[in-house]
A and B are shown apart, each in its own frame.
Chain A
């Protein structure tokens, strides 16, 4: 009877260990950003790309409209592939695009905009990448959709494509 009980305890313990390891090893051990978490937009002060003046975030997002914050850089290859989609998005009047120029050289960034077009209503300079951290970004390109309540409602990691453009359009309808 005692032996049966010990065997039972051992089996239960081993099964428990198996479940823990099975679940643990099946979960990917790398960072998966949460893309649907609702967050308030950060409060910050940033340098405007064209005027070189410092602007407060409440001034940047003062209009009662949807905003798309896109983190980009001239050295970022995927940013080139997503640029036509940003241009398409910029034609939509119920949305404003804000560009966050990430760790870039001013002249290179200017050439990029001159060559490919400027989809942004305003570009901010993020020279040291700290503004990106305030948004919870960890690389380029990354895009954030902000609703009329000034909440970040969606995050798109990587270059945006037609599917994402359609998704954004359906959200802001």
Chain B
């Protein structure tokens, strides 16, 4: 009897943790799919699209997650196949320096102007 009870408890714990990990995989999958551009659609992510290309990418992402591939590696895999354009979040490289550094430069410039104005007033 005791053996049966322990077995049932262990089974429930195993099922629960299995459900938890499936849920975590789903969350990760959706996060990745929302960050991938559907290359044949107009302004849609793979997550939003029902196109054939998008459904193939969804399957691939699902497969890679189940194989234990990490988020970064999945992006890298897709980048290698389709280039930087497929990822919404651009990587810092020679083509995107301005995109990443311009807001910082403007922030510093604005700060410097404000500081100078305050100095003049005081």
Contact present for B81 and A139 (CB under 8 Å): no
Q: A138 an interface residue at 8 Å Cβ cutoff?
A: yes
A91 interface residue per 8 A CB criterion: no
Mark the stretch among B5-13, B20-28, B53-61, B65-73 that contacts chain A.
B53-61
Identify which of A54-62, A93-101, A109-117, A125-133 touches chain B: A125-133
Q: In the complex, which of the residues A31, A33, A128 contacts B59, with contact meaning CB atoms closer than 8 Å? A: A128
Q: Is the CB of B83 within 8 A of A34?
A: yes
Interface of A is mostly: loop
Is the CB of B89 closer than 8 A to any CB of chain A? Answer: no
Bound complex: CA A59 to CA B44 (Å) = 38
Q: Please indicate the chain B residues that have their CB under 8 angstroms from the CB of A158 in the complex.
A: none
Taking A31-B85, A129-B52 as contacts, is the C-beta distance between A139 and B59 under 8 angstroms?
no
Number of A-B residue pairs, CB cutoff 8 Å, is 41
A11 within 8 A of B: no
* Complex contact B39–A138 (CB within 8 A): yes
Given A136-B82, A138-B82, A139-B40, residue A130 in contact with residue B52 (CB < 8 A):
no
Q: Is the CB of A138 within 8 A of B60?
A: no
- Of the residues B37, B56, B85, contact of A129 by C-beta under 8 Å: B56
Which among B55, B56, B63 has the greatest number of chain A C-beta atoms within 10 A?
Answer: B56
In the complex, whether B98 has a CB less than 8 A from a CB of chain A is: yes
Name the distance in Å between A24's Cβ and chain B's nearest Cβ. 10
Q: Is the CB of A133 within 8 A of B40?
A: no
Looking across the interface, which residue of chain B has its beta carbon closest to that of A103?
Answer: B52
Select from chain A the residue with minimum beta-carbon distance to B55: A129
Contact of A130 among B56, B80, B98 (CB under 8 A): B56
- Indicate if the CB atoms of B59 and A138 lie closer than 8 Å: no
Interface residues of A in 1-48 (CB under 8 A from B): 20, 31, 33-34, 39
B residues in contact with A31, CB < 8 Å: 37, 39-40, 82, 85-86
Q: List 17 A-B contacts (CB under 8 A).
A: A20-B98, A31-B82, A31-B85, A33-B82, A33-B83, A34-B83, A128-B55, A128-B59, A129-B59, A130-B60, A132-B56, A133-B57, A133-B81, A136-B81, A138-B40, A138-B82, A139-B53
Query: A residues bordering B, Cβ < 8 Å?
Result: 20, 31, 33-34, 39, 103, 128-130, 132-136, 138-139
Sample of 4 more A-B contacts, CB < 8 Å, known A133-B57, A139-B40: A103-B52, A128-B59, A133-B56, A139-B52
